[in-house]
Amino acid sequence: MSDGSAAFAVSTGEPIAKAVTARPPARRLPTEEAPWVRRLLIGLAVGFLGLFLLLPLVTVFMEAFRKGAGAFLAAFADPAAVDAVLLTLLVAAIAVPANLVFGVAAAWAIAKFDFRGKAFLVTLIDLPFSVSPVVAGLVYVLLYASHGLFGGLLQSAGIQIIFALPGLVMATIFVTFPFIARELIPLMEELGNADEEAALTLGASGFRMFWTVTLPNVKWALLYGVLLCNARAMGEFGAVSVVSGHIRGYTNTMPLHIEILYNEYQFVAAFAVASLLAALALVTLGIKSWLEHRYAGDLAAGHRH
């Protein structure tokens, strides 16, 4: 391009031609780094990500197929593995919808209304993120185990929470508690109340307004939150480990099953089950990345009018 402009300048014989040709070609802007610096920084970043993130991920699949596809598949012939997969699906199928309902209700109250103590409420909703998963499990044990606060009461009623499904579900709900609310609140705050107010003015009922105006506006953020919530629900280890009692075939979710296999030196089987969860994580990241792409477009479109 600089050649073309120089040729043009020379042909017209203007004095400015000197200035144009004197300028060194492809000079970088003062707010950019030299190409070698840029390449070095990109190389360092990619190298770091490769070493610290990609290598562990690759290891999961390498170890799972170390002894071939037969050994990989044999891991799932074990009835305990099948039980673990089913239990994981069951726990997620209860915990995710529960947090979905909560997330939508909390986002509606927090994003659409102004009330006292709102900032404090948001902090409380974020609380489970900063509590250790082990502590999350422990608090339920302290509450519901036979020595716990409500333990005697539950025992006399014949209800088992700890070392049983309800405990697994509660611990999972606790650790995945903020995901959906956190995705919805900032978006719904940004969108404002005008669309909903217009729907009400036009005579829509509260439910219809929510269903036809609010929900379509936030559907991608909602899906995004559900995905993250689900990935964590299926993969939770610490909290579930504390409340499970490790009863094989009964309270063993997939991550707990991985631990048992690993501690029994059944590495291929452990990594085979782990590779299922890793694949779930990859699918989650893939959809998340795709949503972010399209969701950014949605937001931009929203800003245009």
Q: Which residue among 21, 193, 217, 266 contacts another protein (CB under 8 A)?
A: 193
Cα separations in angstroms, 39 against 28, 30, 48, 292: 14, 17, 14, 27
What is the C-alpha separation between 110 and 104, in angstroms, rounded?
A: 10
Q: Which residue among 114, 156, 300, 305 contacts another protein (CB under 8 A)?
A: 114
**If 0-12 CB within 10 Å is exposed, 13-18 middle and 19+ buried, where does residue 262 land?**
middle
Buried b (16+ CB within 10 A) or exposed e, 166-196: bbbbbbbbbbbbbbbbbbbbebbeebeeeeb
Q: Which stretch binds another protein (CB under 8 A): 2-10, 67-75, 138-146, 218-226?
A: 138-146
Q: Which residue among 10, 19, 44, 202 contacts another protein (CB under 8 A)?
A: 44
- Residue 295 makes contact with another protein by CB under 8 A: no
**Least distance between another protein and beta carbon 164 (Å):** 16
Q: Which residue among 91, 242, 269, 272 contacts another protein (CB under 8 A)?
A: 242
Q: Which residue among 18, 38, 219, 248 contacts another protein (CB under 8 A)?
A: 38
Closest by CA to 215, choosing from 233, 231, 199, is: 199
- Residue 59 makes contact with another protein by CB under 8 A: yes
**Least distance between another protein and beta carbon 13 (Å):** 33
Q: Which residue among 14, 189, 190, 197 contacts another protein (CB under 8 A)?
A: 197
**Least distance between another protein and beta carbon 4 (Å):** 25
**Minimum CB distance to another protein smaller for 14 or for 206:** 206
**Minimum CB distance to another protein smaller for 131 or for 223:** 131
Buried b (16+ CB within 10 A) or exposed e, 70-88: eebeebeebebbebbbebb
**Least distance between another protein and beta carbon 246 (Å):** 10
Q: How many CB atoms lie within 10 A of CB 92?
A: 22
Q: Which stretch binds another protein (CB under 8 A): 8-16, 119-127, 218-226, 295-303?
A: 119-127
Rounded to 5°, angle at Cα 185 from 180 and 186: 120
Q: Which residue among 71, 74, 90, 121 contacts another protein (CB under 8 A)?
A: 121
**Least distance between another protein and beta carbon 49 (Å):** 6
Q: Which residue among 48, 186, 202, 216 contacts another protein (CB under 8 A)?
A: 48
What is the C-alpha separation between 4 and 207, in angstroms, rounded?
A: 64
What is the C-alpha separation between 40 and 101, in angstroms, rounded?
A: 48
Per-residue x/- track, 75-94, another protein (CB under 8 A): --------------------
- Residue 65 makes contact with another protein by CB under 8 A: no
**Least distance between another protein and beta carbon 211 (Å):** 12
Closest by CA to 172, choosing from 232, 131, 223, 130, is: 232
Asked whether the beta carbons of 233 and 91 are under 8 A apart, the reply is yes
Site residue total, another protein (CB under 8 A): 97
Q: Which residue among 7, 45, 73, 93 contacts another protein (CB under 8 A)?
A: 45
* Residue in the structure block whose two tokens are 């990619």: 46
